[in-house]
Structure formats: C-alpha cells, structure tokens
Amino acid sequence: MTLNALRFIVFGVLILTSLIFLSILRLRYIANKETLQRRRAYCRMEALLLSLFDDQILAYQWALRIHAHELTYLQEFLLPYLECLKGESFDKLVAVAYHSGLVKRLLQEGRSPIAWRQAKAVYFLGLIREPQVLPLLKPGLSSGNMFWFYPSVIALARNDLRNLPQVLEALKHRSDWTEHLGVSIFAELGEEVCPVLLATLAQEETSPKIVRLAFAVMAHFGYLGSESLLNETILTSKDRELRIRALRAWSQLKLGYFEGLDLALQDPDWEIRVAAVTALGSSGTEDQTALAHPLLRDSDWWVRLRAAETMLKLCKREELYTILDDPLEDLYAQDMLRYVLTREGGATCVIPVFDVL
C-alpha cells in the first residue's frame, strides 16, 4: 500500500513538472511571437512614416494598412514622434491616429477601470490635444497615484491654455509633485504660457509652491516679462524661499542690476546672500564689483565662493591679483580667490621670464 502511494506521488510530480515545463514553453512561444509581430509592424510603419513625410502617401492611406490588432503597436510607435515633432509632421501623425481608429479605441480605454490603461490612453489623447479627453480626467486628477495623476494633469494643461487655472488648482492641493515635474508640465505649452501664468498669479491668491513653480517656468523660457514680479518679490516678500527662488530666476534671466540686489547682499540669511551675489554676477557690471568684495570675507564658505566667482566675471584678473598681493586682505578671501583662479585655469603667481640661451 505504501509502495503504491509512493508511485502515485512520483507519477503526480512528473506530470506536474511536465505541465509546468510545457507552460513555460508556451509562454516563451507567445512572447517570441509577440516580439516578432511587433518588430515586423515597426519596420512597416517606419517605411510608411518616411513615405508620409515625403508626401508619397496620405494619412488615411497609412491608416488603411493598419489592422485592428496592430493599434497597440501603432500607439507605441507614434508616441515618441508625437512628443518631439511639431507643425505639419505632428498634424500628419495625428491624422493617422484618427483615421486608423486609434483615437476611438483610446477614448474607450480612457473609461477603463484599470488605472494604468486609463493613464496610457489619457496621456496619448492629451498629447494630441483631443478635446474629448477632458471628461475622462476627473478620476486621474483626484487620484493619489502619481502615475495616474501626472498624465491627467499634463493632458489638461496641453489641451488649452484656458485650463491653466484648473491645472494650478490641481497642483495646489497636492504635495507629492516636484518642481521639475511641474516645469515639465508647462514646458510643452511653449513660451505663451508665461504671460497667462503671470496674469493668473496677479488675479488669484495661491500657494508659495505654485509661485516658486511660476518663477522656474519663466526662467526656463527666459521670459523677461516677469521682471516686475521678481523685483517686487525680492524687495518685499517675507518668505525666504520665495526670495531665493526669485533671485535665482533673476540670475538665470540675466536681468539688470537694481537696488534689491544690494539689500539682499546684506541679508542675515546666508542662502539669500549666495543667491544675491550669484545674481549680481549675471546682472551686474564692473562698477558693481565693489558690492561683491566684502562678501569675500563672509563667514560662510558658499558665500565666499560665489563672491569670488562673481568678481571673476565682473572684473579683470589683474585686479584680483592685487587683492592676493595685499598684506592687509583677509586670508580667507585670498584663499578663495586663489582657489577660483586656479580652478578656472588662471595663474595665481607671477611667472618669471627667462632669457633663452
């Protein structure tokens, strides 16, 4: 009886092992077949893409060659091109998405209860600025899942500049987004977002984090129309982080010198002094070199470093050598100047001249 039970167990293990082995072979076959189909579809689509851009075929002619089961491949293929192309090429690819039925399918997937499918569909539809995507964004905008929230909010932003207040409202009520992510949302809209963003900030009371994001976006686009807002923030804001961000934006935009920089150079907060002397290096002239000189003796190492870099930008090297040779100068100031000059490839001593024999 025991021997029969043992035989039965061994036989069962062999059958189970065989089934597992066959299942693995089946999965590998399916995966290889999927990879082969995707590769073939991509090769065909690459040829069609070149023909489309050369006006050898029209968008609907490409769409007729796409089978229903290849719409997923088409979505994957078009996505990187839509993210980087603009103008006529972008419009042609969008037409392919419409004629092939991909947009219709994605609108259906946008209502899917599966979050990742809805997020993928919403991101693509937002990328092509499909207006029918707007009713589908509510679940994503209220979701605690950032991988669902991000495609939803970026689709809302891309759809129309008039949605900007809603985008800011959605961001204001969350704390899990970074400044880099916020800038990436608005970067797709182009420089025209800056005046709209500026007007929105002037009309509505918003959080400091949103204001910091606005400074970063305007610095990203080099928008000089933000000078007045930055000036006011540097002079009057009680929020140290806002003042620091405003000074950094002022530096990035290379705006001219104003009295707010002089006041910030004397601020008791060392980070504000760092931001101010850096802004002076981007915005000042040789006449403002004297403002940076006292900061060479600052108690904070970073302030002394930025002050030395600013002086190197604003004045001639010979003037810095005279500071190095001054026996009354602070030793920490001389050490920092020597470090900056050496790092930038400038000699910090007089090289003797030898006669050639």
pTM: 0.70
pLDDT at 292: 87
CB 252 within 8 A of CB 277: no
Tell me the domain boundaries of the chain.
256-345
- The low-confidence residues of the chain, meaning pLDDT below 70, are 1, 204, 345-357
CATH code of 256-345, in short, is: 1.25.10.10
pLDDT, tens digit (0-9, with 9 covering 90-100), for 254-278 = 888 888 888 999 999 999 999 999 9
Question: How high is the pLDDT of residue 28?
Answer: 80
What does 133-188 look like in DSSP terms, one character per residue? GGGG-HHHHT-S-HHHHHHHHHHHHHH-GGGHHHHHHHHHT-SS--HHHHHHHHHT
Longest alpha-carbon distance in the chain: 110
* Contact (CB, 8 A) for 196 and 167: no
What local confidence, expressed as pLDDT, does residue 316 receive? 80
- Residue 351's pLDDT is what? 42
Confidence at residue 349, expressed as pLDDT on a 0 to 100 scale: 45
Would you mind telling me the total number of residues written for the chain in this entry?
357
